A and B are shown apart, each in its own frame.
Chain A
């Protein structure tokens, strides 16, 4: 299917870089483009690989020895690869976020690669490996992968699909970064649908609010407690307060009926119950 880029290909100037893709991947790219087009981050991409396009294959030297692909292997349904730069607060922050996510997604078919440029020195690669031991730490010698993708920003995170299509490019965010990466991963793993993904990426502005209606229901609840301990007079004050706020509230008349029954006024209780039933029916 995809071909590995030779070092020469990877080092070609931008615009000449040829990433070989088969027709199947082009089809996948189209579908993925449609899928992500509506996402709020659709205009963000690596310089040379856009969302929905195929990711170039490339093996890089692994910190623990040997070579490995930054895209994991065929068993992975989601491929996370991050670019972090040496001894930098934001990169350190992102390593912390990723370590947490790796723990959270342990046992799931996700590959985790941390790519460090050899510009930043071996000591930096050592500290990355120590900070996130569960990830594959890869050294990008001569910035081959940086150049192939067009990595202008680091820290940044890429997420690839099982078919090695770029699903999301996520440059550093101070706020909501972990939640953003998590949501994309959950989407790739089929845990959430596109609507939930969109809502998580750009949550609506919600507050925990105590509405007037909730306040009325709370007063009626208190009235119910007072009725239980035989304090009909105090319960009546609560009910009257609620009826002052919302005279068309069926629940208030149900509670009023209980108060009247406690007072021994069965006729008034039945009248209140009828009013509650009428209001409930009207509401339906």
Chain B
């Protein structure tokens, strides 16, 4: 009994360590087979096995990947050129491909999303169960829309930097979200704006957006106030405070952490840190790109009619001013006005 338990335990340990549905044996039911590997289809078992007998081909004549690369040499060459190689590729091509035949193109053991799910079930779960979903993750080529399953020069096996991938789709004026609201055409926005938010400039959409799907509006990775006014609570600004300093908004005077100050009088604090009707980031700043420094907006949609309230910001060497906006023209100077 103990022996049987030990053997069963070993079996499940090995199964668990593989982590992939490795199907290396030929599919027997002809109804299952739509694609076949040429040497197998020709009955030339001896190209890979020690014997040319389909009934008893015996062991492989070399390591799996060495065998594959002896014909699929372009992969060996290309894998050497990329900075990151997907670990199952390094382990064995048969992690994902059946070397004999398959129901699926490229001799894959499963369709793309289910194959990826064998190891990346956490991500597939987010993609399929999140309240806010990102269609390209599960539709069309699914994971392959953004990832190269073999090798990549960008981490996470991305085929390019996030922005370069996102803009493939988000460059359309007609694109709307699930509730019909228009979405930003990033290509034209950036063409019209010479200032870009750091993550956009770094082509790093993932810094703010959970690209597989998420809990928050627009798949933002954490909270960001949805409206022009909000009571100040640092938790509401978790997204921004991921990089920006919380302490900028914590005290009425600050000489080192913000340039938006009149002398030491902290104007970020003045605008934002209020129990009622504190201005949120969106009141003055764009999030992707803007025509002015500090990502300051030209104007902000205000009220239910979305009237655009101009900000009329002008920068100076040590400060600036906002004119005829929420308030009459008010200059500020870090030297003190």
Contacts and interface: CB of A to CB of B under 8 A. Distances in A.
A175 B38 contact: no
Contacts, number: 152
A116 to B, nearest CB: 13
Contact of B201 (A14, A41, A85, A211): A41
Contact of A142 (B198, B202, B256, B319): B256
B241 to A, nearest CB: 8
Interface stretch (B4-12, B67-75, B109-117, B129-137): B67-75
Nearest to B264: A13
A156 B162 CA distance: 19
B271 to A, nearest CB: 16
A115 to B, nearest CB: 13
B161 A179 contact: no
B74 A171 contact: no
B259 interface: yes
A218 B257 CA distance: 62
A241 B52 CA distance: 24
Which of B199, B207, B243 has the largest count of A CB atoms less than 10 A from its CB?
Answer: B243
B50 interface: no
B151 interface: yes
B160 interface: yes
Interface string B24-54: 0000000000000011001010110000100
Contacts of A90: 242-243
B39 A153 contact: no
Contacts of B218: none
B154 A176 contact: yes
B334 A14 contact: yes
Which of A40, A156, A206, A226 has the largest count of B CB atoms less than 10 A from its CB?
Answer: A206
Interface in A194-221: 200, 202-211, 214, 217-219, 221
Contacts of A40: 201
Contacts of A179: 83, 154-155
B20 interface: no
Interface string A206-248: 1111110010011101100110010100100010000000000
B244 A153 contact: yes
Interface in A147-174: 147, 150, 152-156, 171-174
B82 interface: yes
Interface string B142-155: 00000010111111
B44 A152 contact: no
Nearest to B243: A153
A222 B256 contact: no
A16 B153 contact: no
A33 to B, nearest CB: 18
B202 A206 contact: no
B79 A150 contact: no
A175 B263 contact: no
Contacts of B72: 210, 218
Contacts of B199: 173-174
Given A152-B245, A153-B243, A173 B204 contact: yes
Interface residues of A, number: 57
B255 A147 contact: yes
A171 B256 CA distance: 18
Contacts of A85: 245
A11 interface: yes
A208 B75 contact: yes
Nearest to A214: B74
B318 A154 contact: no
B162 A175 contact: yes
A205 B202 contact: no
B184 interface: no
B259 A47 contact: yes
A284 B34 CA distance: 41
A47 B78 CA distance: 42
A138 to B, nearest CB: 16
B181 interface: no
B312 interface: no
Which of B73, B79, B165 has the largest count of A CB atoms less than 10 A from its CB?
Answer: B73
Given A147-B255, A152-B244, A153-B198, A207 B207 contact: no
Contacts of A231: 42, 44
Contacts of A144: 256
18 contacts: A13-B255, A13-B318, A14-B334, A89-B242, A90-B243, A144-B256, A153-B198, A155-B243, A173-B202, A173-B204, A174-B207, A176-B202, A203-B153, A203-B154, A208-B150, A210-B74, A218-B72, A225-B47
Given A222-B39, A222-B71, 17 more contacts: A13-B255, A13-B261, A13-B335, A15-B317, A43-B201, A44-B198, A119-B247, A143-B257, A152-B257, A154-B243, A172-B243, A175-B206, A176-B154, A205-B164, A211-B74, A217-B74, A226-B42
